[in-house]
Structures are given as structure tokens and as C-alpha cells.
């Protein structure tokens, strides 16, 4: 049996178990949120996603309201937008910097900033008390803990618990005393934190930030994202490489990655600085008088080829062997095996899977 409801005057189908927010977000992106991350159980805390449902007493949070057949739902009305503006004004009153957060802080870091533009909020309407205080004294070089910008949406706490199963961070205090904290208020490295960075990437205000990326905050070029795959283990997590000009400035997880659905670990998230490290090999080297010295490509390739030819001539074609990498892409492994098979007619080829 097909299930339908009316959404802003249009009849739309849905599936048993879906929330109003899930149904609505398939039909346009009109409903604002701050505490929502599609991978997490809905919390209904920020109240921005409220909608009007015919027959209901007052607006309902769409993220926690199950869709039911025959419902008539309105997602954008004058009342709803006024209500949402008040909420954004309230949230921004605690976060005067809300509108000027560097996007390098994290994947969702611009959500509040975008809402401030949409609702014309600047935080002055309810200016006064604030909650959360930054922990710049945490010495770890990965996760910025700038809780002055925290709006207590608990996305970080929930992603750590529900998505990661690590329960490394929690909430202390109430009201204006609310503070996101590692257990017993320790530094993150002394907690159960595994530095997967998921809290950074789900934070909608940049209260948590990627310190490795932020070291490039001052580079003037715009940020470009290039979709790729993590270079470490075999899970194959999708991620975006963030670049400014010719500089790699960071990594953010891809929410639509088939293997990871937005998750990364410490290595995928933070261990990328080696790419442009000064230790990289930048020119061919050949051994002369016992020392490896720089050479032109021409010279190095000639020397490489000559050595293989000589071994083949002196000791037979089976005397030449190649080891392909399990780290380099297909085009490398394919070329290495073809190099052996085509040039020497043998199968003297392996990769690093046996040790």
C-alpha cells in the first residue's frame, strides 16, 4: 500500500518509519536545522525544523515527528519563519562570531553562518549571557576546542557515541553553564578520544575545528574540494581533498562515500601533511661512486633500463624481478606486472601482500 501525505500543497509518497523531515528533505531543502545529522538519532533540540501539521496544537519538530498517511504539512509559513528567526537570533546572541567562522574548521561549520544570513540575524537582539568556554589549553594539534561558539546541539557528543561508539565526550552543567567536556575534564589525548575528527566535521558552528587545516587559514586562495579515497587501510573511505591554489590544506569526509558514509579515522582525517613534506623525493637519484646523487630523468631512466637489460643478457630473463605496490593505484600495479611480462616474458612479479 502506498503512503501519501500533503507537503506544502503537494501530495508526496513516503515510507513507513520516515520522519517528516526525511520526507520533506527529499522534496527541496527548505527546512533549516542545527542539531540534525542524518546519521544520528534525531534529537529535536534546536526546534528550527518545526513545521505546521493540520490539526496539531502548535508547530512540531519535523525531525522527530513520524510521517503518517493523510497528514497535511506546511514547511514554510510566515509564522514558522518568524519563529525560526527568533531561534537564530537567540543562538547567535551566544555566538557573536557565528557569521565569520573559517570554513576550514569543518564540513558543517558554516551551518549557523548560513542561517544568520537567511534570517538577517546578527546576535544583537538578545545579547547578554553566553554558555561554553573555549579550551585553548588542550595541547593536541588536531582538534580545536573553541566552545565559546558552542550552541549545545550535542552533535559532537552524539556522533562520538552513536556513530563511533567511543563515548569520549559528554555534557556537563545546564543552561548557560552547559559545557562540552571529555570525562573528568581532561585533555582529549587523556580521554577515550581516538581523534577520528567526526565531532569537528559535524559541528554546525565551528566550535570544534580542524587545527591541521587551520594552519593554512591565511592563504588567500579560495578552497577547492576534490573527491578522492583515503590512502591508508583497505576500507576505502571517500573524502574530499581541500586545496588552496597548489597547497593541500586539509581533508574532509564525504557523507555520500559508499564505504564510509561520512566516517573517517585519525589517519584519514589528520595524517595527510606528508604529501607536501620537504622530505619528499623530488628528483631522480643514481648511485655514483657509492653515493646516491641527483640525476636527470633521462639519465636515471637510461640507467634503470640498462641494468635490467644487462641482468637479462647475463643471467637470463628470469633473473629480473619486480614487486608492485599495494599502496599505489591500479595503473601502477598493472604497469609493473606488464613491465615484467612484456619485456621479459616471465611471471617474476609479486606484490606486498605476503609480508
Partner 1 sequence: MSNPLADMDKPDVIFCIGTNMTETHPVAATRLKQAQAKGAILIVADPRHIPLARRADIHLPLRVGSDVALLGAMAHVIAERGLMDESFIAERTEGWDSVREHLKSFTPEWAEGITGVPAALIEQAAVLYAQADRGAIYYTLGITEHISGVDNVQSLSNLALMTGNLGREGTGINPMRGQNNIQGAGDCGALPGNYPGFQPVTDPAMQAKFEEAWGTKVDLEPGMTKVRALEHAGEKIFAMLICGENTLISDPDYDHCERALGRLDHLVVVDIFKTETAELADVVLPASAWAETDGVFTNTERRPQRVRAAVPAQGQARPDWWILAEISKRLGSDQFEYNSAAEVFNELCSLSPLYAGLDWDRIDAGRYQWPVPEADHPGTPMLHVGEFPRGKGLFKTPAYRDPAEVVNEDYPVWLTTGRRLEHYHTRTMSGRSTGTEYLLNEETLEVHPADVQAWGLEHGGMARMSSPRGSVLVRVASDDTSPPGTVFCSFSFSEVPINKLTGSGYDPITDTAELKVCPVRVEPVSG
Q: How far is the CB of 288 from partner 1 (least distance, A)?
A: 10
- 56 or 259: CB nearest partner 1: 259
Binds partner 1 (CB under 8 A): choice among 80, 152, 234, 252 = 234
Burial of 57 (0-12, 13-18, 19+ CB in 10 A): exposed
Reading the block at residue 221, the C-alpha cell is 586562495
The size of the interface with partner 1 (CB under 8 A), counted in residues, is 112
Task: Answer yes or no whether residue 186 interacts with partner 1 by CB under 8 A.
Answer: no
Q: Pick the piece of the chain touching partner 1 (CB under 8 A) from 92-100, 121-129, 146-154, 324-332.
A: 324-332
321 binds partner 1 (CB under 8 A): yes
What residues between 239 and 298 interact with partner 1 by CB under 8 A? Answer: 241, 243, 246-248, 257-260, 263-268, 270-277, 279-287, 292, 297
- Binding flag, residue 144, partner 1 (CB under 8 A): no
Buried b (16+ CB within 10 A) or exposed e, 156-192: bbbbbbebbebebbbeeeeeeebbbbbeeeeebeebe
322 binds partner 1 (CB under 8 A): yes
Separation of alpha carbons 201 and 208, rounded Å: 8
**Per CB under 8 A, does 309 bind partner 1?**
yes
Quick one: 69 or 323, whose CB is closer to partner 1? 323
Distance, CA of 163 to CA of 180 (rounded, Å): 18
Would you state the cell numbers that stand for residue 48, as one nine-digit string? Answer: 528550527
Cell numbers that stand for 323 in this block: 614487486
Site for partner 1 in 14-73 (CB under 8 A): none
Segment near partner 1 (CB under 8 A); pick from 52-60, 104-112, 128-136, 227-235: 227-235
Answer yes or no: are the C-beta atoms of 271 and 200 closer than 8 Å: no
Amino acid at each position: 500500500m502506498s503512503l501519501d501525505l500533503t507537503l506544502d500543497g503537494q501530495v508526496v509518497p513516503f515510507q513507513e518509519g520516515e520522519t517528516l523531515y526525511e520526507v520533506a528533505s527529499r522534496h527541496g531543502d527548505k527546512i533549516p536545522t542545527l542539531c540534525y545529522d542524518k546519521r544520528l538519532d534525531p534529537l529535536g533540540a534546536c526546534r528550527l525544523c518545526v513545521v505546521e501539521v493540520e490539526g496539531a496544537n502548535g508547530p512540531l519538530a519535523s525531525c522527530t515527528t513520524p510521517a503518517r498517511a493523510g497528514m497535511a504539512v506546511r514547511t514554510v509559513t510566515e509564522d514558522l519563519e518568524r519563529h525560526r528567526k527568533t531561534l537564530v537570533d537567540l543562538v547567535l546572541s551566544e555566538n557573536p562570531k557565528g557569521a565569520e567562522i573559517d570554513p576550514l574548521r569543518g564540513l558543517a561549520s558554516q551551518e549557523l553562518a548560513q542561517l544568520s544570513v537567511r534570517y538577517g540575524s546578527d546576535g544583537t537582539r538578545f545579547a547578554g549571557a553566553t554558555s561554553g568556554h573555549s579550551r585553548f589549553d588542550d595541547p593536541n594539534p588536531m582538534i580545536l576546542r573553541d566552545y565559546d561558539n558552542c550552541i549545545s546541539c550535542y552533535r559532537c557528543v552524539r556522533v562520538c557515541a552513536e556513530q563511533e561508539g567511543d563515548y569520549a565526550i559528554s555534557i556537563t552543567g545546564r543552561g548557560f553553564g552547559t559545557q562540552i567536556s571529555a570525562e573528568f575534564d581532561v585533555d582529549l589525548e587523556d580521554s577515550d578520544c581516538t581523534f577520528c575528527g567526526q565531532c569537528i566535521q559535524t559541528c554546525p558552528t565551528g566550535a570544534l575545528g580542524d587545527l591541521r587545516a587551520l594552519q593554512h587559514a591565511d592563504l588567500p586562495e579560495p578552497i577547492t574540494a576534490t573527491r578522492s579515497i583515503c590512502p591508508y587501510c583497505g576500507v576505502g573511505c571517500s573524502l574530499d581533498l581541500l586545496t588552496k591554489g597548489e597547497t593541500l590544506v586539509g581533508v574532509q569526509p564525504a557523507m555520500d562515500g559508499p564505504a564510509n558514509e561520512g566516517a573517517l579515522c585519525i589517519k584519514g582525517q589528520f595524517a595527510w601533511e606528508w604529501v607536501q613534506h620537504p622530505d619528499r623525493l623530488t628528483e631522480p637519484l643514481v648511485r655514483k661512486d657509492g653515493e646516491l646523487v641527483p640525476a636527470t630523468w633521462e639519465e636515471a631512466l637510461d640507467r634503470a633500463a640498462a641494468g635490467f637489460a644487462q641482468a637479462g643478457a647475463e643471467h637470463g630473463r628470469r633473473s629480473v624481478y619486480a614487486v608492485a605496490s599495494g599502496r599505489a593505484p591500479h595503473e601502477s600495479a598493472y604497469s609493473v606486472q606488464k613491465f615484467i611480462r612484456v619485456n621479459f616474458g616471465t611471471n617474476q612479479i609479486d606484490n606486498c601482500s605476503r609480508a
